[in-house]
Amino acid sequence: MFAHTLCDRHETRLLIELAKQDPTLRYCRECKAMLPVDRFSQKNRRFYCLDHFRLLRRWHRTGTLEKHAVDFLRIKCLKDKKIFRQTCINLTINDVRQMVQTKFGESLDLSNIREWCIVPMNPMQVLSPCNALVVSAEHRKRLIDGWKDSYDESAYSAAVLKINVL
């Protein structure tokens, strides 16, 4: 096992100890639970059970414009987490897809997806579906520049409300 943290709640040492106590269990990152070993691939030692591994593999095999758009937004969120000094983001691929579909419905032109971004409504909380907002790239730049200047939560929240009203 690795010597780094797997997720927010489980330290690798704890997982090693749990595996030593009960070698019939392994940790799935997506389920966030210890599962029986037979629910994992016998060939590869991965941190995803077979159900989630199949979903991930199916997602990686598709090369559609929608996949590229969702990946672009999610990667931008991962870069922004450093700016907001967050340890992780709790946005899955499906969460990003739902947010984009909710915002634009069927009228979304995915070729223009670079004009949109996902930012946290409250920068002090982890980016999650209930703390996320789809904004234009221009608004994102203004929000991040304002955040970098002052690190003032109330000023950031006021700017988010102003953008949300527009």
pTM exceeds 0.85, yes or no? no
pLDDT in tens, 82-96: 999 998 888 888 888
Residue 143: its pLDDT value, please? 93
Rounded distance, CA 76 to CA 122, Å?
A: 17
78 shares a domain with 101: yes
83 shares a domain with 51: no
129 shares a domain with 74: yes
Rounded distance, CA 116 to CA 104, Å?
A: 11
86 shares a domain with 28: no
pLDDT in tens, 122-136: 999 999 999 999 999
* Residue 49 resides in a domain: yes
Residue range 31-46: mean pLDDT, rounded: 80
Instruction: Give the chain's domain count.
Output: 2
SS3 133: strand
User: Which of 86-90, 110-114, 157-161 comes out lowest in average pLDDT?
Assistant: 110-114
Q: What is the domain range of residue 16?
A: 12-60
SS3 for 70-132, per residue? HHHHHHHHHHHHHHCCCCCECCCHHHHHHHHHHHHHHHCCHHHHHHEEEEECCCCCCECHHHE
Residue length, the chain? Answer: 166
* Residue 85 resides in a domain: yes
